[in-house]
Structures are given as structure tokens and as C-alpha cells.
Structure 1
Amino acid sequence: MDKKTMVADLAALVMAESPSSDLAAVDACADVLAEMGERHLGRAPERIRIGGRQHLRWAFGREPKIMLLGHFDTVWPLGTLAEMPWSVTDTVATGPGVFDMKAGLVQLFHALAELPSLDGVVVLLNSDEEIGSPTSRALIEDHACRVDAVLVLEAAADGAVKTARKGMSLYCVEIEGRAAHAGLEPERGVNAVEELAAQIHAVVELADPVAGTSVVPTVVSSGTTTNTVAAQAKLWCDVRMWSALEQERIDRSIRALAPVLAGSRISVTGGPNRGPLEAASSEKLFFLAHQVSRESGLGMLRDCAVGGASDGNFTAGVGTPTLDGLGAVGGGAHATTEHVEIDQMIPRATLLAALVTRVLEGGL
């Protein structure tokens, strides 16, 4: 592997800005990835369009055994390069999406290029992970059901692979009250803001810090004018948890919310978005990766559990062994401090190549 070529590939990807919401920009980035993949893997990808959005797939051999999973959309709006340009200083590269997760994609291509055969390998890169993978989820889950293992090229947490991720649920609690003049006859109204306050308290009480379950009100809206009793209100909640049992408990509880004010009504939309990636899903793969890391002279491989979700939650959810965080070493995901440690790119790609080889050989 050659660091200079890796950095050049990374520069091309970062310069191809790809905010999830801009389909033209995402398509342009897909073109860069397709060329890069063809150059390293010797084959152009299959371009899959779902709902007008493009995803890329490389499949080698008739019997898939392992899937390498990643995304090429970012959270950064078009034009961010002007304020947060691509740069390389000493051993650090910066730019929008460099850490989450374009460096991981570069490492993926360079790792697979080292293998004598790719028979049994599937590479799937989607363009909507940052917005919840609405068009690619079924595609990801379908492929995951066909393979023995999934390796996710999301960025590493301070060099550690991710053996567990919290699940994620999103809810919107809508409240209907009754409008009235706030000065002349407030008693004729049913105040949706008062109901909203009670429901915020109710959902917050569902959290269980000991179990690692968080229930966070994130966005609220209500009312129409300052002199009118509010007739409507909305509450959005972000819920994270370590276990499927906790996700089910929260779901039942939120759907059972009851109004406290006579005359008000409550409806709940949303629900589980991603199930947890529980440690049991990654145990065997992490053990294998740890062995491979030592045998390759890369030292001890660390692992961690994180609160953020990824597409690895989907693959673990269908029962396929999944190891996440095999991508870049760096930091600052979704922040202006986003960066990648360039000197770690070849070691991480070396680890990936060895791990893929071991799985293909039946190491699981």
C-alpha cells in the first residue's frame, strides 16, 4: 500500500462534497467513488437507484460470505469546503467528511486491492446513512441476511473498534387542545402548552440512566399568537438504549401516554429507527480481529461501546455478526474539528485486509 496514493484518493473524495440532501452532489461523489473502486478492484460498481437516490455495490463470486459496508453522504452542506477546506498538515488531514467516513472508504479500496481473490466479497456503499438510511435500509438488511459477517467502515473511536452501539428511536408527540382568547375567556380553552409541559415531564421520567437509556426532548413547537390559548403543540424525542428489551419498554410507554387536561388529545408517531448493536453480535468478529491485529504486528486492538447508531445496527438486527468502527482513526465527527490521522490509514487497511482474508477462509 502507498500512503501518497491513499492521500490523493482521500483528497478527491473530500473535494466531492456530498451532503445527504443534495442528490446531484451525492451523484457526483458516487462517480468519484465508482472510478476509484474500478481502479482498485478492477470492476465498475452496480449503480442502484432507489427513490431517486444512488447507491453503489460491488459483488464478487456467486456465494457472498462477507459484506463491507459504508456510506458516502455527509452532514455538511454544499459549500462547506470554502470555510473548512481540504488540507494536509504533517500527519493530519482535514475537510468535510474526511473522518465520517470518506477515509474509511479509501482504506476499504486499498485493503481489498491487496487480496489475491475477492471471491465472496460484497461492498455496499449507500448515500443516505446520515439521514437514517430510508432508501437503503432494506437493501442493507437483504444483503446482510446472505453473508456470514459484516464489517462496517465507520470511523474508529480513538482507534478502538465499536463492538456495541445503542439503538435509536424517534417520536413525535402531537397535542390537540382548544383555542380561546387568552385575556377575555381563557377558561374556555384547553391549553396545549400546559399539556406539553406535562408530557415532557412524563417522557423524561421514562429514562433509566443505570441501564443507559436516555429519553431526550429535542424540539418543541406550539401556539399561534401571544394572546391565544394554544390549540396545538408538538414534542419530538430522541431515545437511545443498549438493549432490545429497553427499546420495547420505551415504545410501549410512549404509545401509552395519556392526557392530563380534560379536553386535550394526544397522538404519537414514529418509533424504533435502529435496534441496538449488542455486544453479542460482534463478540466473535472482535476476537478474530484482535488475533489478526497481533499476528500482523499491529499490537493490541481495543474496543468500545458508543451511543451513536450506524447501519451496523441494521445488520446486527437481522442476526448477522457485525463489527463496526473499522475505518479511519481521527476525531471531530460532525464538527469543524473533523480530522484523520494519515499515518494510521495503512495500518487500518492492513488490519481490514487480514480480517477479510480470515473470514473468507472460514475463520468464524
Structure 2
Amino acid sequence: MLKALRKPQFRLLWGGQAISALGDSSYQLALNWLIATQFGTAQTMAIVQMASALPTAITRPLSGTLIDRWTPKFMLTFSNTAMTILMAIFAVVSLHSQHFLVIITLIALFGVFSSNIEPAFFTSIPETMNNKDLESANSAIVFLYSLTGMIGPVLGAALITLMGNSSSFWFDSGTFLLAALTTIVIKYKHRSQEHPKVEKNLRMKDSWLWILKNPWAVRVHVTEAMANLLLGLFWAGFPIALRTGANAHILSFGGGYTLIYAGATLTSLFSGKYLKRINDKGLIAYLSISGLAIAISLSVAGKTAWMLYPSAFAIGILLPWFNLISHQSLQESAPREMLGRITSVGSLLTTVMRFLGYFLVAVFNQDVLFTFATSGIIVLLMIGFVVFRRRSLMNDVAASL
């Protein structure tokens, strides 16, 4: 992790995203607290999540093409700037209106403009360093999201306690602005980022075809899709269960989220060194998803603090492994000129499957039942992938998947 952070351009990229992610964590805590206290059902929480996921799912296929055409730097700067403005509007609106329709309309706009950020960011990583440092870089990225996810809820809870809900939204707006300014000064090594170059014949179809031609990539995306269906179910019900377990106290509410990211931070600190020592990284990836499914099932089995908090910590520990390994495999093996579109396919699947999870909760209000069913399917699927994958060239990350 430290090796990657010694690279000046990656350090700027990492720092800008860290600032933005800290604001996002604070915003998400404030939004979840607002919905949980004002409306108070898993169905309502699921509808709010759907309002963000649906526009993102619609715009994600386009984002990959835009990134490959207009460059990751341009799209990161543009998207962060747009989110600066939108989040400031949301902060103003939250002071004067908490009408549900107004809230979900603005959240839908967030989904449109933020959909470019994640694929543009991950496409930027190989542009700031050599392939041999990608493992270290990905560990640093996991640490980034874990650390900001751990600090953000505490910071958000403190801001809400001291200055009210809108303060977290203002803070997030400011972090988007800082991220945009940081991105402007980054120098990408592979192509000029100052003047976007329009290329023709960039088709999303090509990225799907590349994935289908590589069985390991198919397994990665199927696993990612199923895991995000489960996470959609989890994130719809978790805030409501947490509010009950926390006895409606904002600091205890934020503590549940902090525990998830504390576990993820712990993983990120030693994952890079550990992964270097093993050849069969695919086994670790699939076992971690199975463990995640079990931990999420335990979290919904009992909605009391003594069940929620340990389960949250376990979820955090297990969550990063698959992303670490799958991102490295794609960054090393995918064609560089297609990486933006391939990354956006994964982001699209993430969004669509989480949307499906939210939809199931919103329509049927059976988050526990669907969580148990999905967890069982995932465990069986992961066992199948471990057994039937090709075990040749295990020193290659993609081959082990």
C-alpha cells in the first residue's frame, strides 16, 4: 500500500478520492438517519435507494464509453463539479423541506451525475502507475474507502448533533469541489488529459463480448452481481434495524456503520502483504463472498445491538477481499483502451443488482426472507466456482478466478 502512495500522481488521485469519499460517508449517514427517523420503514429506505440506483443503472452504460472517449480525468473533474452544485442545492432544500418526493428527485439526480465517478476513478489507477504496483494501489484504495467509511459516519453524526442534518450535505458538497480541483492537477502518463480526444467506434458491446470470451471474467461479474443483490437487501434493512438497536441515538446509529468500515480498514492494512504470499487468490475471493453471505444472514437474524454490531464488523472484514482481487485481475488483463467500458459493466451490474434488492424489499417488504434465500444461493454458487474453475497458472490472478 505504501509503495503505491509514494507515486506522486497516484497520491493526488488517492487524496482527491479520499476527500470525496469522506464527504460521501457523512452524507450517507445523514440521509439514512433522515429517512429512518422521518419515515422509519425498510420499504421507504428501499425506495430512496432505488431513486439513486435506477438513474445510475440507466447512465452507467454510457459512462464507460464517455470515459474511453473523453478520458478519465475529464469525466472525474466534470462529475465532481456537477455533484458539488447538486449537493449544495440538496443542503439548501433540506433546511426548508423534507417532502419525500423532493428528496427522491434530488437523489435521482445524484445517481445520474455520480455514475461516472467510480469507473473513471478505477480507470485512472493504471494511468498513474505501472502494472507491477497495481496490487499495492488496490490495497491503498480499499484502505481509502475503509478509513473514510469508518471516520465519515462519526463525523456525520457529530455534524448532525452540533449543526443539524444539512451540515453533512454542505460538507459533502465541499469535498466534491476539493476532489475536482485535485483531479485537475494530476498528470496521466498514457495520454493527454488536457484536451479530450474524441475516438470513434467505441461500443459497449465490445466490452460485453470481451467478458463473455473470458470465463474467469464471467465468474467475476456473476459473483459481483449476486453479492450486490445481497448487499442491496442488506442496505435496505440495515439502517432501520440499526435505528431500533441504537435506541434512536444518532451516535450509536453512526457506530454501526463505523464498525463495518473498521473491519474493512483492518483488512486493507494486511491484505496486500498477505495476497502476495499466495498463488490461489481466486480461492480467497470466493471464500470471502461466502463468508460475507453468512455474516449478512447473521446480521438480519437478530435485530438487537449485540447481534448487529459484531455482524457489522465481520461484514467489514470480509467485504474488501473480492474487490481487491477482481479489480487487480481486470486492471492487469483487460485491454487498456477498453478498460473504462469493462469497468462500467461491473459498475452497471452492481447498480442493477442492488436496485433489484431494493425493489424486492420495497414491493414485498420481506428483507429477511430474501436475504436468507440469496445468501444460500451465493454460498452454493461460490462452491461451484471453486470446484469447476481451471486451476492452471495459479500464479496469475485472472487464471485463479
TM-score (norm. length: structure 1): 0.24
- Give the structure, 1 or 2, with the largest relative contact order (CA under 8 Å, sep 6 or more): 2
Larger radius of gyration between Structure 1 and Structure 2: 1
The structure that is helix-richer by fraction is: 2
The structure that is strand-richer by fraction is: 1
TM-score (norm. length: structure 2): 0.23
